[in-house]
Structure 1
């Protein structure tokens, strides 16, 4: 070309270089190509305008998706978008492979991309050859996709910041893997080091608390939100001369600094350093950018989870009590295990409250509370804290158990109706007052589970307790009280339903599980509490216990109160071979006769003769029925099993305040009463009626028969059952 001649047009130059020119406007959905670009796309060699669908039909589907990702990456980094594309004919055969280079821009108002670029045919390696297929689609691309899937899965499963960093350090990128990693965070106007790998402990010192205005790649990434790629030490030194000495001593050859962005906010930077030169091709930058995005999401999730755990620990420490000082003649242990849903905190709680007149030290009375507020969220935890405080206040005023629960129900009903009438909450509660000197326990129940008692010989029984509606449902609900005695060597269990029903159990099967653990365990109360928790979740720690497993279904709270054997003052003594059950059946509570039958069966759970058990249950039902039908008094049932195994005897006594003694009668064949004493003579080994200072008691005894017992009279049993059925 002679000097002074005009330069040829751009189109002529590109045509001479076999390079096509194209323009893509995603807002309009159109692609404009010149003649050479049209030829490379397999179309007539003339300028034309195509729709996105027409262009997409000429490209391999995988490559179309590749273009989208590369364009987004180039816009984010402010770099060129470069990608290899397979051009297809109408039959789906690959015509040729072209390289596309473009400079994309993004219109935020239109939310659309605009690209102007070139197309040039790739001649080596030739399309269709093994080398060509490897270069375009090959093993690297498949390895990259497999790597990103594995990396995404591993980072998604990481639950803490330390675990996320361990996963990131173990990532082996296809074709290039960094030997040094660092994750930078932001604290105010300074960088922090969240974690690093591939460096010695202490090497992070110069980079900690570095000002964001520092001439350092990670600081620039945080300021601008754009990645920085440094392919050589010379490039690093030229761009960042002030901080190059800090990086020089690590003897690395290439560096990539990428922003950690979540929801449009840059939360830090990720450094990947290499001991060998890396060109950072578009494919390599795409992999690094994808990993940085996944890493940012994983760190964000882990940070949120750690914040929740810190909040959980704080709530638990502030809301759960510490069991008070030692109680002379008694031992106590408590456990709390939160559920696994959301925050590890819920509405279950326990408490130990000194009653007026002193603290639990000495022989002063105290109260035990076991409760469960509906729900497993922060609101349930907040209501639990308020209700616990209210119960403490009412107890401190000296109210009896029934009055404490009545006032607590009105309190909870008031705050739930005031705060959010559309989302009413209720709570179950068991409140018992204990006199350590006598072992007397007086309690009331608001929709909660009955307590249980482990006797000195290991037998575990429900202790039926009168109750009313859960707290917060009816502000005028009544809560009758029940009094019983915790005898020396016995242990009282208070718990929430999480201990019973967790693990797919219902109330019956879950209770059987708890009973087996308590009957088999003969150690101290802390060991028994741990055994109960371990049966559901695995090892626990004292009092406030953190998350133990991923199978948690409900909160668990339990309190064990044991009365030392007589004269032991805390030492384990030989257990007296006596087990005892006491129950009051009021005139207005005939349904408690069924409770008495069930309690007697539990008391005789290991009795060898089923016939004798049936006989004892039948006689108890008849004795209680007689008191309710023929007197105006309440009935007191006392059942005791005494003696060594094989020689035991059961004595059952029913007392009332009426002076009318029973008389033996000869009932006719169709009579509906008068069979009580006849059954006594038929089924009991011995029986009798004893006047008392006020009222009387009727009793019977049965001796243990290892062979299964004697046959009973079928007609008599049927007659008796008919009478019993009337009472039910």
Structure 2
């Protein structure tokens, strides 16, 4: 071009550079292209106007979606929109790759975009060449899409703010790797660091807490809702001269500050810092902006869930008592874990109630007290409200001096009345009420549809203790709740729990109980440690003590009460030591099915007995003795079984007592007789046996010796 000649038209220059012009108006859905742009799109080289659908048909579907995302990002950041596009022919084959650069504008009135930009062909490496293989291996689209999918999945699964921050810290972005990541949150009018990943700082960073009007990029992002990209230290220094001296101390080269926006509100800033210069191309900005949006959504969800959990935990903890001073002669420990899943307020509770007596003894003295544990049906606010009212009612009935059966009967009528006339609104509750006499160790138990208590004996043996029971509270206002009396021996521990402890983790009552029984038998330590071990055995390590959350993924509330009667010299006892092992169980005339429970109790008592044949013999003889009482008298039977001595040289003694004065006598039944063989079997199978008349009634007993079974017949 000679000096003084007029400059060529812009269109001629662009054509000479193989660059086309195009204009896209989303309001009219029309795309106007010049001749060069038409040629690059695989059309005849002449200017024309296309519909949006016609233009879209010439582009790869994935790239069309990419254009919409890049345009939105460019409008929010007030930057150019740049994207690479694969052009396709009528048969769906890629004919070339072009780069589009445009300046988008947004009309808020019509809610439409207008873009004016250029198209220019991009030379791709020849397939099969080293450059081509490198391009395939490092395909930026594929790696970026895979990264965003993985990041989105990981952030969606994060349940707490700390989990979200850990996921964000572990992100490995394709093509560029930040040396440091930070998340800023807003507390009032202050900007504060809520998460940081990178080299440990020897001193507190200067950006930990600052006013929102500070001349600092993160604060500006919160104020404006727009990202800030600083590719070089010079850019940082020129735009933010006040805060630059603080940032210069860390010798970084590039910074990206992204808004964390959720629900139309900017809740903070995400910072990515680099040790090398980063140009922050549109592709890189798109990746960072997408991660920032996902991070903001994850933080918003986690914050809402944590608020709900805190409300649930505070609500239920406020309804639970503290155990207060320990009782002389007894030790008590409790744990309560609320359920997870937002406002899933449950109805589990426990309580410890001082009982009136003939002296001035109080909870902190030697007086009697009651332990209560229960579970109201449902996991909602109504269940929690009913639980609180039922707990107050039980305390009132117990404080009036009623016996355990009367306390539960009155509580059942109270809960039934709470349902009103609407049967659909009726709720029931399971409950276990234990009246404790610390001086004697006698426990009187009434049960309303609740799991039976378990006893851990002094030598570590664990037995479930079958107790008489009635319907859950609230179902039948006239239901009866018979009382079972047992003796808690020195160094024995009783466990009461709700079904959440047993059935959590997909277990049923049988398999869940085996898991809990193993923990009880194998634990060595004091009562508080045992309570922790029971809960941790179900959910893993705990960060709470008596109350508080454990894990976020919980299935049901858990309430656990432990009562220990320490012997002298073992004030904190949950101590395994050789001792007498015994069980006591009553079998009523009206409940012959408890004969099966008695047989099971004896088997559990003899779980480590050396000879299985002797166990079978003992169970057979017990069944004969109990059946004899139920058939030949009008009275109830009381079973007492005891194991004494060192393992391998122990003695088993089984007694059945009834109030009848009629003594058993040996009979000679014929071959076809269906009864009359009880004493014959005892005489054949037992090492020793006898009948002891009492003041009222009698006791028939037998003994078996663990070390001497060679000449004893076994049960057929």
Given candidates 562, 565, 574, the residue that maps to 1:563 is 565
Residue 459 (structure 1) aligned to one of 454, 458, 461: 461
Residues 334 and 542 in structure 1, CA contact (< 8 A), matched pair in contact too: no
Distance 1:324 1:541, change over 3 A: farther
Which residue of structure 2 aligns with residue 724 of structure 1? Answer: none
SS of equivalent to 1:434: strand
The change in CA–CA distance for 1:582 and 1:21 in structure 2 (over 3 A counts) is same
Tell me if structure 1 keeps the 8 A contact 2:369–2:435. Answer: yes
1:253–1:504 CA distance, 2 compared to 1 (3 A): closer
CA distance change for structure 1 residues 430 and 541 in 2, over 3 Å: closer, same or farther?
farther
Task: Specify the SS of the correspondent of 1:44.
Answer: coil
CA contact under 8 A between 1:431 and 1:444: conserved in structure 2? yes
1:119 corresponds to 2:118: yes
Aligned-partner SS, 1:399: coil
Which whole-Å CA distance do the structure 2 matches of 1:593 and 1:94 have between them?
Answer: 83
Instruction: Tell me if structure 1 keeps the 8 A contact 2:416–2:477.
Output: yes
2:211 counterpart residue number = 210
TM-score of the aligned structures, taking structure 2 as reference length: 0.85
Q: Does 1:363 align with 2:362?
A: no
Larger CA deviation: 52-61 vs 147-156: 147-156
> Which secondary structure state, in structure 2, belongs to the residue aligned with residue 392 of structure 1?
helix
**Equivalent runs, 1:495-506 vs 2, <5 Å:** 495-506=497-508
Alpha-carbon deviations, 1:6-34, whole Å to 9, x = none?
A: 99998677667654443434455543434
257-266 or 544-553, which moves further after superposition? Answer: 544-553
More divergent stretch after superposition (155-164 vs 475-484): 155-164
Bigger drift between 144-153 and 350-359 goes to: 144-153
Q: Contact conserved, 1:183 with 1:193, CA < 8 A, in 2? A: yes
The answer (yes or no) to whether the contact 2:620–2:715 under 8 Å persists in 1 is no
Distance 1:504 1:249, change over 3 A: closer
Q: Counterparts of 1:311-350 in structure 2 under 5 Å? A: 311=311, 314-315=314-315, 317-339=317-339, 341-342=341-342, 346-350=346-350
Contact 2:686 2:712 in 1 (8 A): no
Q: Give the equivalent residue in structure 2 for 1:427.
A: 429
CA distance in structure 1 between the aligned counterparts of 2:59 and 2:255, rounded to whole angstroms: 34
Please say if 1:85 is aligned against 2:68.
Answer: no
Q: 3-state SS of the aligned residue for 1:544?
A: coil
Deviation of 1:267 (Å): 0.9
**1:65 maps onto 2:65 in alignment:** yes
Deviations 1:460-489 (A, max 9, x none): 322221111222333433222111222233
Does residue 492 of structure 1 match 2:501? Answer: no
Change (3 A) 1:709 1:442: farther
**For 1:403, which of 403, 406, 418 is the aligned residue?**
406
Q: Which range is displaced more, 365-374 or 19-28?
A: 19-28
Unaligned runs of 5+ in 2: none
Please give the alpha-carbon distance, in whole angstroms, between the structure 2 residues aligned to 1:634 and 1:411. 32
The reply on whether 1:185 has 2:185 as its aligned counterpart is: yes
Of residues 439, 442, 465, the one that matches 1:440 is 442
Structural RMSD (CA): 4.1
- Once the two structures are overlaid, the 10-residue window that deviates more, 519-528 or 483-492, is 519-528
Relative to structure 1, the CA distance from residue 119 to residue 406 in structure 2 (aligned partners, 3 Å threshold; closer, same or farther) is same
Please give the alpha-carbon distance, in whole angstroms, between the structure 2 residues aligned to 1:575 and 1:240: 73
1:297: which partner in 2?
Answer: 297
| Structure 1 residues 424 and 50, CA gap change in structure 2 (3 angstroms) | farther
Asked if the contact 1:330/1:562 (under 8 Å) is kept, the reply is yes
Residue 394 in structure 1 maps to residue 393 in structure 2? no
Deviates more, 1:196-205 or 1:33-42: 196-205
282-291 vs 130-139, greater mean Cα deviation? 130-139
> Deviation of residue 442 (structure 1)?
0.6
What is the Cα deviation at residue 445 of structure 1?
A: 0.7
Could you say which residue in structure 2 is the equivalent of 1:718?
none
Q: 2:305, 2:202 → 1: CA distance?
A: 27
Shift of the alpha carbon at 1:259? Answer: 1.3
> Structure 1 246/205 Cα, relative in aligned 2: closer, same or farther at 3 Å?
closer
Deviation of 1:160 (Å):
4.7
- Alpha-carbon shift at residue 438 of structure 1 (Å): 1.1
Question: Which residue is 2:35 aligned to?
Answer: 35
C-alpha displacement of 1:240: 5.2
Secondary structure (helix, strand or coil) at the match of 1:122 reads strand
2:685 and 2:713 in contact (8 A); partners too: no
Confirm or deny: 8 A CA contact 2:687 2:712 kept in the other structure. Answer: no
1:435-475 Cα offsets, whole Å, 9 max, x none, are: 00111111111111111223334433222211112223334
Change (3 A) 1:115 1:465: same
Cα distance between partner residues in 2 of 1:28 and 1:133: 42
For the residues of structure 2 that align with 1:616 and 1:195, how far apart are their CA atoms? 66
Match of residue 658 from structure 1: 660
Residue 330 of structure 1 deviates from its aligned partner by 2.5
Secondary structure of the residue that 2:466 maps to in structure 1?
Answer: coil
2-side partners of 1:263 and 1:574: how far apart? 59
Change (3 A) 1:49 1:461: same
The equivalent residue for 1:695 is 697
Change (3 A) 1:35 1:656: same
Aligned residues, how many?
709
Structure 1 residues 288 and 573: alpha-carbon distance in aligned structure 2, compared to 1, 3 A threshold? closer
User: In 1, Cα distance between the equivalents of 2:492 and 2:208?
Assistant: 63
